Every structure is written in structure tokens, then in C-alpha cells.
Structure 1
Amino acid sequence: MKLTSAMVALGMLLVSSSHPGAADLFTTDQAPAPPPEERGIWAAIAYSTPDEKYGFFWGADKRQEAMDIAIKHCERNSGSNCVVASVFRNHRHWNDDDNTGFPYHHCGALAIGKEKRDGSTPWSANSAPTRQEAEDLAVTACERSGSRCAVREWVCT
């Protein structure tokens, strides 16, 4: 018996359909692509609202590293409820854009209110390309609470 191309094609179809999921082995979009590498020099600000403690870190190779160390510094300063308030980065090399869309904001600032409102002290942390812009953004956001606010700390990568 001579096999025709139609018979071969039918046999291939029957073989692949008899094994559920076998056809999936040949798709190119099985698993999501890994996240792109995040380049730059990372920094983070952590803050604990109940006790107004904070921690900063700059100089990390990875975003998560900066966040983890900022929280550790906040906790070391006796912060009881430290959370990451701002994450930012600087270029390590001017051509290191990683196309993630995460901006290169070189500086961050933490502003804290001078008086309590509704039982807590207002605060804000922001980042921007320059120290002055980061400070202005942090103070403006903090003062939306109605409190007078001042920059408590700033850092640039």
C-alpha cells in the first residue's frame, strides 16, 4: 500500500489529537516572557506611619534589593510598620535604558507634617529627576492634608 500525502497528514492529525496537549508543545507563546532586566542604580525610601520612623537606601543593583534594605533601615530605626514609600533609580550608564517604562528619577525626598491631623502626622515621599523637584513634589503632596510640611530627608543616586 502506497501512502499519499493526504494519508500522512491525516495520520499526523490523529496522532496529535490522541494526546491532549501535545499540540501545545509546538506553540511559541506557552509561558510568559521573563521580565526584562532592570538596569540602573536603585534607591528606596521606607516609612512607618505610627511612629514617624524612616529608612533610606541607595546604590543597589536591583529594585527589590533597594526596597528590602530601606525597610531594614526603617526597622533598625525602631519603625514598627515600615513600608516602601518610594523607589527610584539613576542611570548606571547613559545608554542603559531597559525599556521597562520605569523612569530614571535620580532623587527622592520624604516630607513630614509639622502637626498631627486626625491622629496621625501627614507625610509624603516622591522622586524626580532633581533633588529640588523631588522635595517640591513631596512637600506639595504632604500639604494637601492641610498641614505645613517640611523635607525630613532626601537622597540622590
Structure 2
Amino acid sequence: MPPIKKIIYSFLFLFSLSLIGQNNDSKKDYRIEIITIEKNTKDTIIGSFFEIYSGNKRIKAECCTNFDGIDIFTLNPKDIVKNRIDIKVYGLKCKPYKKKFSIKDDLKTTIYLKYGKTDYNNPKEDFDRMYKKLKIQPEPIECGTVE
């Protein structure tokens, strides 16, 4: 076989392998981006905690929103029952809030909380207690450069 035919056949073989690799039936994790804002004042709510349920089972507990009121996390589609999730939000000095979502892909949403009666009023005193109450393990904070 002439060398050019070998190159062409090799190229076609490699190209077909890359197409087969892209037709993977496994679903990727859903990327969830939530912004928490106080409904009346439009203040961003820093340090909000989240509990995510599907099929009456808690599938994730998450902390915390950053200084812009944003938290980003992922959910495994295998944990989600009938494409439905319930999100409970515990915002600093805000009434606990619950919302249902239908989810089939990534989700980006804004949740409007209201200041009111809550057990989460003081970030210094209540932050660790919220971790314990929701049984969340704090993630280690890493500072410095990445090598």
C-alpha cells in the first residue's frame, strides 16, 4: 500500500475514534448558579446556606454565597428524581425560603429573600452553628499560588 493511503486510512481511523468518544451517553453534572438578593432593599445576601432535595431526599448541602451573593456548585443528574429539585435557602437575617425547580440542564437563577425572623442573624456567632445544623463540612481555604 502506498504511504499516502496509509496516512489517509490512519487519519480516518483517528477521526472516527474522536466521533465515537463524543457520543457518550453519560450526563454531565448540572452547574447550578444561585444569586441571593433581599427582595425589598436589593442587597446581596452574603454567606447564604443551601439544602437541595430531590425525591424527598437531601442530595446536597452547600455554603456559601460570596460577596456578590453568588454560589456555584454542581449536582449529579443521577441524584435527581423526575427532573425536580427543591432548594431551601438560609440567608443571613432572612426568613428561610424554599423553591421548587424543574431541572434538565444547567440552572442560573436569582432567589429573592426577605429580612425577617431566623436563627441565622450574626455571621460570627451563627456561622459555625449553621454548619453543624445542616451537617456540612467546611471546605478548606487555600491561599497562595497554584503550581
Which category describes the TM-score, using the shorter chain as reference length?
Answer: 0.3 to 0.5
Higher helix share: 1
* TM-score after normalising by structure 2: 0.32
Bigger Rg over Cα:
1
